[in-house]
Structure 1
Amino acid sequence: MTDKPLATEQGWWWPVALDTDLGAEPLAVQLMGQALVLWRDGQGAPVLMTDRCPHRGAQLSLGQVHDGVLQCPYHGWRFNAEGRCVGIPAQPSFVPPATHTACRHGARSKHGLIWASLGDAVHEPPALRGLPSRRLIYGPFDVHTSAPRAVENFLDTAHFAYVHRGWLGEASHPEVPPYDVTTTADGRPVIEQYKAWQPRASASSPGGDWVDYRYEVLSPYSALLTKRAEGGGPQDSYVAWACPTTEESCRLWFAQYTSDDQSSDDELRDFQVTIFSQDQPILESQQPRRLPISGGELMGSADRLSVAYRRYLQRCGIAYGVC
């Protein structure tokens, strides 16, 4: 398999940067092995192009934005938001023909992120409804494993007692209670209710409690978790957004939507960064890095959601980052 986006993957939108990370200067990003450049046009809208000037192949991300156009750092060729060359300083009176264009891709802002499409996207970025209004986004985290591996870890509950011992689980309670996996109308896996005992359910929790979980796969490389302690307290919803930078690496953001009005931003961020710092070395140790969706790994009854997620990837025709 080559490290290039396939036709199926080109039909989706993928997160590539935080909206706040893109300012007045061009920003280099990577998606599915493709070097890309993000910049803002004169109206402040994000523009995405292949990070290569069609003149001599220089990286456009090393250039500058002037008056709503992107200027190449090598010879100063200038490209508008449609990708068309609108000026060549070495030939000031020359009007570049329509064939003088940089390769442009789709870009849009949603959920605090900038999303990219490498083809004619037929799927919209995932919708989020009914979540608490307070939002914090953590990351990016660059991880040496495939995006599907990272999303499956986010959906997995059986590792809490070991990877997150003393935080989200206890070694004395490793059991996974029975749960049912259903699907949305468009075939995305969902667990409507899952109960777990957690020593520290959230940043504001003073001690352990039973926690109600709800999981929902949002798209091939994203998922939503909502949880609330049985004894009350804040509702926390977490979204894992995964950008497949290559077949065997990804960039992750975690968005938290919370009704917690007691904890500071730093307290919430420290808690989530600690949780992922426990996950990351395990994720990066898994072999193969691409997620096996056609067999090759053993499964038990506690892995129903993982099985459903892998089948969903197969139904979507996803072939990037899997084996």
Structure 2
Amino acid sequence: MTTTLEPATPVVATKRELAEAAMRRSWFPVARMADLDKPQSATLLGTKLVVYRTGDGTVAVQDRRCPHRGGDLSKGEVHQSSIGCPYHGWQFAASSGACVRVPSLADQCKIPGRAAIKSYPVELRYGHVWTVLEDPIREMYDVERWRGLDLEWLAGPAMDSAVGVGITIENFRDVAHFPFVHKVSMGPSPEVVEPLEVTRAGLDIKMERPLNASTGEWAEDGDAMMYYECSAPGLATITYDYERLGHRIVAGFPCPVDYETVVIFWGVANEVGYKGAGLEECLRVEEMVYREDLPIADGIEPREIPWDAESQEFSVPADLFTLNYRRSFNELMNRVKEESRVDASA
């Protein structure tokens, strides 16, 4: 007897699954360059990493677990071109992850052939070390407005936050919360938001908005034009253009520890020759803004954008920028979906 099998029901990924897949293929910061005098521990979407700079200057991002007996390499010793496990001293090459020395072996030719740790791509940008877990679905961030500027960067202190990347970026780029959350750092702000002029080109969203100095921490700097930019999944920036001072920048790039938790990496930059406050003072003021945001953002429910409409939300014109960020993220998810469809049909 012949049995006819019904065609398999195609597996349809939820938007949350697509969002996670897109983030695994996107660049995120995992350490500050200023901290690489010793190995750094990081977790990116559940993957435990070690970040370090060798004696020869190579910066590496690799799996944190030693494959011998599970030692934590972030507690190990950095050598000229490798990192050593703190447990038994096994050394792994920064360039390839291959085990290059086992101290307990008299004959180093007998190192187990498959003993190695996974190495990940590395980009050094904006004062941070960036990596990507899987084959990138998008390019590393490159803000067009900054290309002609000679910038000096200073990385801020990393901050833990109990919400996901999407919620964090939306908070960075939301303009309607200023009069309620940033009364100290920004001074009085109008509650009514003017019509927003927002443009989106693929993954990149831009908006221009004047800064009226008001009575906040920036009052003495005078008025400026603010150029808001963000890009899915995890870059949000403001470039301040002061007519008499020059350019200064604040940028945030949250790293997803998991889907609903981030470490906020961020930094400030001044154009060389900027006539306003120095980097340390800019960092102080911007940190005030971030720390005003944290207790409010950490109370948001759900803890990540409800991509699958599991929670009802309503929007108004003041949300135009963040809605375009969601469209940007959706485009990134669609890239993953289309690529998976092509792979399945090949």
Structures share fold, TM-score greater than 0.5: yes
Cα separation, 2, equivalents of 1:7 and 1:303? 26
Q: 1:285 aligns with which of 273, 293, 299?
A: 299
Tell me how far 1:277 sits from its aligned partner: 1.6
Describe the superposition over 1:21-67 as per-residue Cα deviations: whole angstroms up to 9, x where unpaired: 112x3221111122111122342111111111111112111211223
Q: Is contact 2:230–2:325 with CA below 8 Å preserved after alignment?
A: yes
The answer to whether the aligner puts 1:304 opposite 2:320 as a matched pair is yes
Identity level (%): 27
Cα separation, 2, equivalents of 1:125 and 1:253? 16
Instruction: Return closer, same or farther for 1:61/1:262 CA change in 2, 3 Å cut-off.
Output: same
- TM-score of the two chains, using structure 2 as the length reference: 0.81
Q: Is contact 1:131–1:237 with CA below 8 Å preserved after alignment?
A: no
Instruction: Return closer, same or farther for 1:68/1:170 CA change in 2, 3 Å cut-off.
Output: same
Greater CA drift, 292-301 or 14-23: 292-301
Q: Decide which structure has greater helix share.
A: 2
The number of residue pairs the alignment matches comes to 312
SS in 2 for 1:162: helix
Q: Is contact 1:108–1:116 with CA below 8 Å preserved after alignment?
A: yes
Q: 2:53 aligns with which of 40, 47, 50?
A: 40
Q: How does 1:141-160 map to 2 (within 5 A)?
A: 141-160=159-178
The answer to whether the aligner puts 1:255 opposite 2:272 as a matched pair is no
The answer to whether the aligner puts 1:89 opposite 2:89 as a matched pair is no
1:267 aligned partner: 281
The answer to whether the aligner puts 1:66 opposite 2:79 as a matched pair is yes
SS in 2 for 1:304: helix
CA RMSD of aligned residues (A): 2.7
Q: How does 1:40-189 map to 2 (within 5 A)?
A: 40-81=53-94, 82-95=96-109, 96-128=111-143, 129-131=147-149, 133-170=151-188, 173-184=190-201, 186-189=202-205
Question: What amino acid sits opposite 1:140 in the alignment?
Answer: A
| 4+ aligned runs moved over 6 Å, structure 1 | none
Q: Is contact 1:106–1:117 with CA below 8 Å preserved after alignment?
A: yes
Tell me how far 1:233 sits from its aligned partner: 4.1
SS in 1 for 2:206: strand
Instruction: Return closer, same or farther for 1:10/1:57 CA change in 2, 3 Å cut-off.
Output: same
- TM-score of the two chains, using structure 1 as the length reference: 0.86
Cα separation, 2, equivalents of 1:118 and 1:221? 15
Q: 1:31 aligns with which of 44, 48, 59?
A: 44
1:15 aligned partner: 29
Cα separation, 1, equivalents of 2:64 and 2:104? 22
Provide structure 2 residue ranges, at least 5 long, that are not aligned to the other structure.
Answer: 1-13, 335-346
SS in 1 for 2:183: coil
Q: Is contact 1:218–1:224 with CA below 8 Å preserved after alignment?
A: no
Tell me how far 1:232 sits from its aligned partner: 4.7
SS in 2 for 1:130: coil
SS in 1 for 2:237: strand
SS in 1 for 2:305: coil
Cα separation, 2, equivalents of 1:234 and 1:36? 39
Instruction: Return closer, same or farther for 1:102/1:176 CA change in 2, 3 Å cut-off.
Output: same
Which structure has the larger Rg over C-alpha atoms? 2
Tell me how far 1:271 sits from its aligned partner: 1.1
Provide structure 1 residue ranges, at least 5 long, that are not aligned to the other structure.
Answer: 319-323
Tell me how far 1:106 sits from its aligned partner: 1.9
Describe the superposition over 1:162-187 as per-residue Cα deviations: whole angstroms up to 9, x where unpaired: 1112542525x211100222112x34
SS in 2 for 1:139: coil
